[in-house]
Amino acid sequence: MIKKVLEFQFDLIVVGAGSGGLAAAKRAASYGAKVAIIEVNKVGGTCVIRGCVPKKLMVYAAKNKKNMTSSEGYGLKSEGVSFESDILLKNVREEVSRLSDLHKNSLEKLNVSIFEGLGRFISQNELEIICPKTNKILKKISSKKILISVGGKPKKLNIPGIGLAWTSDDIFELDRFPESILIVGGGYIACEFASIFSNLGTEVTQLIRGERLLNGFDEDLSSCLEESRAFSGISIIPKKQLQSIESINGDLESTLDSGDKIQTKNILIATGREPNLLPLNLEFLNLKMDGAYLDVDELNQTSNENIFAVGDIINRPNLTPVAIEQGRIFSDNFFNEKKRKVNYEYIPKAVFTIPEISTVGLSEERAKEIYSEKNIKIFKCKFTPMSNTFKDYKSKCMLKIVVNKLTDKVLGCHMFGETSSEIIQMVSISLNAGITKKEFDITMALHPTISEEFVTMYG
């Protein structure tokens, strides 16, 4: 009997044109693979359309305003500085569209077929593309391999009136910034938007269910951020939870579990994100799950040999550079016969508050848990950076090194202060290379900078 060889239209279908999907599609196409990509929204995904990029542009607006209005000591008059949020929001949207078009053009140059619509599995090698408005099937396409890279969506609290609140997705669609806002959550998104809004004139209250901001980060970083909040006018309500929301005379009234009521113009819920897998119709494929995430091996292969997954739908650090690396390496391995693996060690992270928080490696608390307190040495300094000398705003910066006493190996570096993300990105190279504290010590300082303190902390 002659075995029938299945003919597929594509070598690879990528479902979701975000950071991971775009990286994989472009890399596979560059190796000559016939690639299709399906996207229901604008090309670009969370990072480009409703995440890192528009957020960072707003951070620049907030930083510029802060500098303009707090530098009179440098002889700079701040009279007449005003902020028109509609101009910022319009410009941000235009920039996002420009970047989305650039990605689309580069896909087209690489002959990647772009399908607009919602991708839904009908077999392990086949998807139908659905029009999200009419629910009509627009097309069916098949491929030998399918990469799922649909990303995440904001989690919403299950409480009465939740429909009245925004998620971070809504912020980028606004015409103007609100007069006042309650931000629920103490993680990345909540802290970043609290900084953006408060520095641009919105009255901000931040509600956190625990005792501190940014759980899981080195506790000194959280404390520095909390101290700096005193300068920015954000009021933090700890150890309380939102129970319900009501609209009263054009305001939103939040009732907390303590019975307290807070009135603000708007509410932002930033209580985490979750994989956006539901529209894919995956159930019949019985893919192995890892909680809410798709379970994958180190080659990003799911429990089905034809189906792969990258980005925020798998249980790895949900960060843009990680998704890009996963996407590229997937295509290197399966379309160019390379044998690469993603390096998940020493991933640098930043929270773009003002000032910003950056970190790589183990926090003091985690290092002590793993290696025992007696084997850990901490080097730390906290001071007013020279850039704040003549400013009204005197928040301090903090640098910290976590060292294994037995091996002298640097386990973690943490920094609170302006441009800390740029500094920690470079420090992460040395941690990946296995640097010891002695090597920090014999490195010459560059003066006068903030980061020179990383090489001058002896003890």
The answer to whether 185 contacts ligand NDP (rule: CB under 6 A) is yes
* Interacting residues of 367 by C-beta distance below 8 A, sequence separation 6+: 376, 402, 404, 411, 412
User: Which one is catalytic: 77, 133, 374, 447?
Assistant: 447
Among 151, 187, 355, 417, binds ligand NDP (CB under 6 A): 187
Residue 224 lies near ligand NDP (rule: CB under 6 A): no
Residue 450 sits in the site that holds ligand NDP (CB under 6 A): no
- CA distances for 234 relative to 192, 198, 231, 358, 430, angstroms: 12, 7, 8, 21, 36
Check residue 172 and report its DSSP letter: T
Q: Which C-beta is closer to ligand NDP: that of 129 or that of 424?
A: 424
Beta partners for 399? 381, 415
Among candidate residues 205, 199, 201, the one with its CA nearest the CA of residue 186: 205
Which whole-number Å values give the CA distances from 242 to 189, 238, 254, 374, 411, in the listed order? 17, 11, 7, 41, 38
Contact of 157 with 43, CB cutoff 8 Å: no
| Under rule CB under 6 A, residue 237 binds ligand NDP | no
Ordered alpha helix ranges (H), 280-363: 320-335
Q: Which of 352, 379, 416, 454 binds ligand NDP (CB under 6 A)?
A: 352
- 15 bridge partner residues: 38, 148
* Site residues (CB under 6 A) for ligand NDP, limited to 250-309: 270-273
The stretch among 106-114, 204-212, 298-306, 321-329 that binds ligand NDP (CB under 6 A) is 204-212
Binder of ligand NDP out of 58, 92, 165, 319 (CB under 6 A): 319
Closer residue to ligand NDP in complex, CB, 186/417: 186
293: three-class secondary structure by DSSP: strand
Is 189 a binder of ligand NDP (CB under 6 A)? yes
- The answer to whether 321 contacts ligand NDP (rule: CB under 6 A) is no
103 tagged catalytic: no
Closest distance between ligand NDP and the C-beta of residue 116, in Å? 26
Closer residue to ligand NDP in complex, CB, 125/149? 149
Closer to ligand NDP by Cβ: residue 287 or 351: 351
- Specify the residue for token string 């950071």: 19
What are φ and ψ of residue 166, in 5° steps? -95, 160
Q: Pick from 153, 209, 240, 377: which binds ligand NDP (CB under 6 A)?
A: 209
Residue whose Cβ sits closest to ligand NDP: 187
SS (H, E, C) 221-258: HHHHHHHHHHHHCCEEECCCCEEEEEEECCEEEEEECC
- Which of these segments, 182-190, 251-259, 303-311, 422-430, binds ligand NDP (CB under 6 A)? 182-190
Write out the residues near ligand NDP by the rule CB under 6 A. 157, 184-190, 192, 208-210, 215, 241, 270-273, 318-319, 350-352
Catalytic residues, by residue number, are: 447
